[in-house]
Amino acid sequence: MASVAVVVGASIGGLLSGLVLAEVCDKVVLVERGELSDTPAHRAGVPQGMHAHGLLAGGLAALEQLLPGLCRELEQRGCPTGDNLRDTAWVFSGRRLALGDSGVRGMTVARPLLEHAIRRRVAELPNLSIRTNLRVTGLLYGAGRVKGVRLVPALGGAAEELTADLPRPTDRYRPSQNSGDFSSKWWLVGALKRRSRSATSRRRSGPREFHGDPAKSGAH
Ligand SMILES: Cc1cc2nc3c(=O)[nH]c(=O)nc-3n(C[C@H](O)[C@H](O)[C@H](O)COP(=O)(O)OP(=O)(O)OC[C@H]3O[C@@H](n4cnc5c(N)ncnc54)[C@H](O)[C@@H]3O)c2cc1C
């Protein structure tokens, strides 16, 4: 049977999830409640979209790994890159941090431009489609599993059900343990595998709470 993944939201997180899922599913459907423009435009579904955004080195590297050539495209479209310490003014309590080479490169980017550049590439995937103006209002269940989502048109109208059927992670989808390819591209596939394990452990231990410095407690 064909495997179908449904992703709620076609923003940056949804698009990248769809990109990864398109490698392991026959079909991927992204459902977005808002309109998606053909140009890099601000949209209501992302209220933080008009704030200034900086992409730190880890995010930049992960995006480049998922979508090779993206950084170059963004640079060509005017997004400045530079050393995070040498080329950026960091001001704490009114004092500017000393300049220096950190070796860590970041980029400043308008979020609508970043999302548009990602969307343009992801939308080209032959087995992925993006459905807009549809709001997910609930999940469908069956045989102890989530089987899909319930949708209503954002502007009103009859509800619709969209079923999903995710593949169970198998050898076909698993990257080689020795390939070193356990980075961003595979986190989602790994997450599918870990899903049932973590659900079990959450049931045993309850929600975790962190107090004080998250870095010291090991939280991320
Ligand atoms: C003020 C501010 C400044 C920030 N600055 C930075 C920064 O400098 N650098 C940085 O990396 N990050 C920054 N962030 C964080 C960054 O903007 C978010 O982490 C990022 O936008 C999250 O993207 P996302 O795709 O996961 O979710 P979102 O962008 O929140 O998108 C969610 C999507 O899901 C859709 N949706 C929601 N509910 C439904 C539904 N029921 N049915 C269908 N569709 C639905 C929405 O329409 C939207 O398109 C900032 C955030 C804020 C608030």
> pLDDT > 90: what percent of the chain?
58
Region of 22 on the Ramachandran plot (φ > 0 left; ψ -120 to 50 alpha; else beta):
alpha
Measured from the Cα of 44, ligand 1's closest atom is: 47
Confidence of residue 1 (pLDDT cuts 50, 70, 90): confident
* Residue 212, pLDDT score: 33
From atom 37 of ligand 1, which residue's Cα is the shortest distance away? 9
**Atom number of ligand 1 nearest to Cα 9:** 34
Q: Identify the pLDDT of residue 174.
A: 52
Is 67 within a domain?
A: yes
Q: Which numbered atom of ligand 1 lies nearest the CA of 34? A: 47
Instruction: Give domain status of residue 98, yes or no.
Output: yes
User: 212 lies in a domain?
Assistant: no
- Banded model confidence at residue 10, pLDDT cuts 50, 70, 90: very high
pLDDT tens-place string over residues 105-135: 899 999 999 999 999 999 999 999 999 999 9
For residue 184, being part of any structural domain is answered with no
25-29, 89-93, 106-110, 197-201: least confidently modelled range: 197-201
Please report the sign of the dihedral spanned by the C-alpha atoms of residue 50, residue 108, residue 59, residue 15.
positive
Of 12, 56, 88, 152, the residue with max ligand 1 atoms within 8 A of its CB, to mutate for a pocket test, comes to: 12
| Predicted local distance difference test score (pLDDT) of residue 213 | 38
User: In this predicted structure, which of 35-39, 79-83, 163-167 has the lowest mean pLDDT?
Assistant: 163-167
Q: Is residue 19 part of a domain?
A: no
Q: Could you read off the pLDDT of 143-179 as tens digits, one per residue?
A: 888 899 999 999 989 999 999 987 665 545 555 444 4
86 found inside a domain: yes
User: Is the residue at 172 inside a domain?
Assistant: no
Domain boundaries, position 78: 53-109
Residue 22 clears pLDDT 70, i.e. is over it: yes
Contact 31, 162 (CB under 8 A): yes
**CA–CA separation, 27 vs 25, rounded Å?**
5
User: Per the domain annotation, does 170 fall within a domain?
Assistant: no
> What pLDDT, on a 0 to 100 scale, did the predictor assign at position 191?
55
| pLDDT(19) > 90 | yes
Q: Which letter does DSSP use for residue 151 in this model?
A: E
Element (H, E) at 122: helix 111-122
pLDDT at res. 119: 98
- pTM for the full predicted model: 0.79
Of the candidates 200, 194, 164, which has an alpha carbon nearest to the alpha carbon of residue 182? 194
Give the chain's domain count.
1
Task: Report the nearest-CA residue for atom 20 of ligand 1.
Answer: 12
Q: In what order do the strands lie in the sheet with 134-142?
A: 134-142, 145-153, 160-163
